[in-house]
Chains A and B, each alone.
Chain A
Amino acid sequence: MNLTINGVETPIESGPLTSLLDVLREELGITSPKAGCEQGGCGACTVLVDGEPRRSCLTPAASVDGAAITTVEGLGTPENLSPVQQAFTHHYAAQCGFCTSGMMMASQAYIDGGGTDDREAIQHALGGHVCRCTGYVKIIDAVAAVVRGESFDPNVTAAGTAMTNLGGMA
């Protein structure tokens, strides 16, 4: 099997029924997708398969043979953050950070698919992604900011939306 992972064509040695999550984490050492439940319930393992968000824990490797896979490692680097990464940082959308990779990949797919900054639409796009720490308000703020084309320098920025959660949810 072969996968193109973040633009790099990669031969895969794991068996055909190995989950894509295990291929990425265990065979290749790409650890941004997380094993939160391995049952399709939390979204922490989400990666893009040919641009579509997929739960890698439920995706047998053979079913995506030849596909292009994007993980957070493919979005940007600390020196050159992508707009989604900038916005998640700026809006404090990652508290413990464990759900963050999956959240960002689903957000990226939503934005690439022409999603708007409508809060309900964002909420719908991130449905099934569980975050136990941050709460969803800041995550939705971050996605909406990207759609609006806002960009931030996370090292110097201090301005932003109000920090209160009161009335934040649509």
Chain B
Amino acid sequence: MKAVGARVPRYDGVAHATGRTEFVDDVRIPGTLWVKAFRSPVHSATMTNLDTSRAAAMKGVHVITWEDVPLLEYGHLSALGIPADEPLLAKDEVRYLGQPIAIVAAPSEEAAMAAVAAITADFQERPALFDVRKAFDADAPVIHQEGNWYTHFENEMDRRQIRKGNIDEAFDKADLIVQGVYRPAAIEHAPIETQVCQVVPEANGRLTIYSCTQALYFSMGVVAAHLQLPLNKLKVVGGTVGGGFGGKVDTATETMCALLAQKSGKPVKWRWTREEEFLCSSTRAPWHMEVADAVTKDGWILGRKMLTLHDSGAYSRFSPYGLTKHSFHHTGAYSIPNLEFNGYVVYTNRTPTTAMRGFGVTSVSFATETHMSRIALELGIDPFELRLKNANRIGDTSPNQIAYTDPSTVPTILAIADAVGHDLTSEYAGMTPAQRSGDLLPEHLVGQLGNPEAH
């Protein structure tokens, strides 16, 4: 534990400062072909007459379409039994602007761009859907055959739902209902290193994949599945990421590069332009959250009803997982004994969304903390005291019935009060996260108590 509390030199600090860190784009392999994508020019359409013949006839050019992919649909969560809904390359439907349709490799970047320009297809455009709130309307554009929201939660439920306690009783007993709607927007991760990959076909039949992935084993499994290859045919070299923030968890480039390396028998490299990074790479999801709390005049939160619409974009990718995390955290750092949570992964014609720092939880933290302040304002109670009163304590239980053993809400809020110079009454200033008793154990919180020793 020598490193704890000490300033430790970064293992890669000197390499960064001398320009010697080898990022994927810095790997030099002679004879490498450049990769470029033919992408959907529209948000939503049926595609017909895809014609890559002129591109394929160009000197030194190799083209891949959906027909070349051994297993077209595979998702990062497929290994967990969650069905995939996204083709590696679009087949007959395009569902977002910039969706890859065909991929080319050519001897130079210019030649690759010329090859992409020679590819044609017809697009019968449809009205697109961008607002999750409209996804449930009878006349909303239909994004997927199965509908506009994901339907494969456990037991084929079409939502992530949490029920705890008796929500109707909580709302009957409330002095006040405090409501709020919270809508954080999409955010592009914007790493300074764009998505980049190099794949080298080796003489021993393996593919060496230089990847900027944040999730090497995920990517390895995804490539192997699409290509229907055993893992021992892939050597994935990763670990050096020029910024990711969650945006390099998707396997954005590796599979397509691997297919082109196989087809051409040559090393290939795909480095997204900044424009592609902004327009075509996944973003943090926009969320729509509606919160209604049953509160008492003296600042207890008896119950919470919450509806979350998670904008997944055109395909589900990691969204069911993100929403699940979100649901577990929908009371924030506070104990609310009666809950009714419904969350949907909603499809739109936006770029698919994915992980970003605190996946699923930052959104709900924004909503719950803002809502706590709103409650304090409506009740005329000190916002710190409201938080301390309802804070998670040892033995309280989470929405999914886990008893907390070491909750940090109380010390955190006390530290914040201290940092901003906010005076608290002695009753609150000396608070600890110890198990509830006395005034801090009103009747409505008795039933939710759990056994912290159980874990």
- Which residues in A have some Cβ–Cβ distance to B below 8 Å? 29, 31-32, 34-39, 41-42, 44, 71-73, 75-78, 81, 85-86, 88-89, 92, 94, 96-101, 104, 130-133, 154-155, 157-160, 163, 166
Contact = CB atoms under 8 A, between A and B. Distances in A.
A78 B192 contact: no
B400 interface: no
Interface in B1-29: 6-10, 12-23, 25-26, 28
Given A31-B23, A39-B274, A132-B245, 4 more contacts: A31-B22, A31-B25, A72-B19, A104-B17
A132 B192 contact: yes
Interface centre among B7, B17, B21, B271 (most CB of A within 10 A): B17
Interface string B241-278: 11101000000000000000000000000010110000
25 contacts: A31-B26, A34-B192, A36-B192, A36-B193, A36-B194, A39-B274, A42-B192, A71-B19, A78-B14, A86-B17, A89-B9, A92-B13, A94-B17, A96-B193, A96-B243, A97-B21, A97-B23, A99-B192, A104-B17, A132-B190, A132-B191, A154-B13, A154-B14, A158-B6, A158-B7
B18 A77 contact: yes
A32 B7 CA distance: 27
Interface residues on B, range: 20 to 34
Q: Is the interface of B mostly helix, strand, loop or mixed?
A: loop
Given A132-B190, A160-B7, A85 B17 contact: yes
A78 B13 contact: no
Contacts of A39: 274
B17 A98 contact: no
Contact of A72 (B10, B12, B18): B18
A48 B19 CA distance: 15
Nearest to B13: A89
A41 B273 CA distance: 12
Given A34-B242, A98-B242, A157 B9 contact: yes
Contacts of A131: 192
Q: Is the interface of A mostly helix, strand, loop or mixed?
A: loop
Contact of A98 (B23, B189, B274): B23
Contact of A85 (B6, B18, B21): B18
Interface in B264-311: 271, 273-274
Contacts of B13: 88-89, 92, 94, 154
B243 A98 contact: yes
B20 A78 contact: yes
B273 to A, nearest CB: 7
B19 A96 contact: no
Nearest to A155: B9
A31 B26 CA distance: 6
B7 A100 contact: no
